[in-house]
Structure 1
Amino acid sequence: MPGRRGPDLGDLVARTARGDQDAFSALYDAVAGPVLGLVRRVLRDAAQSEEVAQEVLLEVWRTAARYQPERGEVMTWVLTMAHRRAVDRVRAAQAAADRDRRDAARSHTPAFDEVAEQVENRLERELVRRCLRALTELQREAVTLAYYRGLSYREVADLLAAPLGTVKTRMRDGLIRLRDCLGVAS
């Protein structure tokens, strides 16, 4: 049908906040795909992505009453939750790995060949540096600010005095080039 629009997400969130399960079902149908897609891009693991996406959608159900339309669109609100939850999962996994390394170092019984591990880490760091140098200056700036300084897309856009869409495009293109350069399977 020409001119057909999707459901009014703002109305669905308001009804969900009042406990309307049918509204939540419609909201779920409208946002589940984008949520899973975003989470999968961050985590790159299908099982974990599905788990995190379900956590996010449960959080939407629980916190629908806190949605503030004046602060942004429903899809933005939901995808922000999804991105944060996915990044938290990555950070938790990294923290667990760091904790395991510290425990192994304290027990003085390394679970790996320390010299080989150091050499491998050094080679990986050099490969990342070389791949970063292969990016355009604009891509490198955006990726570096977001991933090494921990800034959000909005903060990167503000710092670079560039439109948010431009920063997102730079990030996407830069990350694709990095993935290809590093030989990471998508």
Structure 2
Amino acid sequence: MMGNSYARELLIFLFLIILYYAEAGGKAGPYECFRVINTGPCKGFESDLISFPLKMVKDEKTDFIESDEIEVPFDLDTKVSVNITVETWDSKGWNPPTNHPFADFCKTVKSKFPEAYKDISTAIGRSATCPWVKGTYTVKKLGTCLRSSKFPIMYYGKYRVHMILIRDKKRVGCFFMEAIIDPK
């Protein structure tokens, strides 16, 4: 009789561990892309020097990312760093963000997400070199399936990423993207 009680408790314990890891998005593997499902300027960043009026649009059957004019008053060079915050979604909602600071915005995006960087450069009509020079940018028909060969395996699930641009230790702009990573 005592053995059955112990076995039942052990099974319940194992079930709870499996449930915990299943909810934490514990499955990882190859994926097609970061499929963007929402994007735009960060809330509370309206007074920044650079506004990112990004939006999702639909062209017949295909979703795209587009923007109104983005005025960039200085080169996005080595003086512009980026703090990338990443949140993950589970059954309880968004988990607290993790912060990933990088010294050079342009080179970080180009090196970590080379395919996405090329797609973004094409969508704004600029060369795929760093730095992006000051001027007016407009995003036209940027696909929502962003790829990176630098991350061949990712945890599946829903993510929210904030890209906070910093210059001279001051926040100068911010945009966010929500994306889903599905198995390949």
- TM-score calculated relative to the size of structure 2: 0.22
Greater length-normalized contact order (CA 8 Å, ≥ 6 residues apart): 2
Higher helix share: 1
Higher strand share: 2
- TM-score calculated relative to the size of structure 1: 0.22
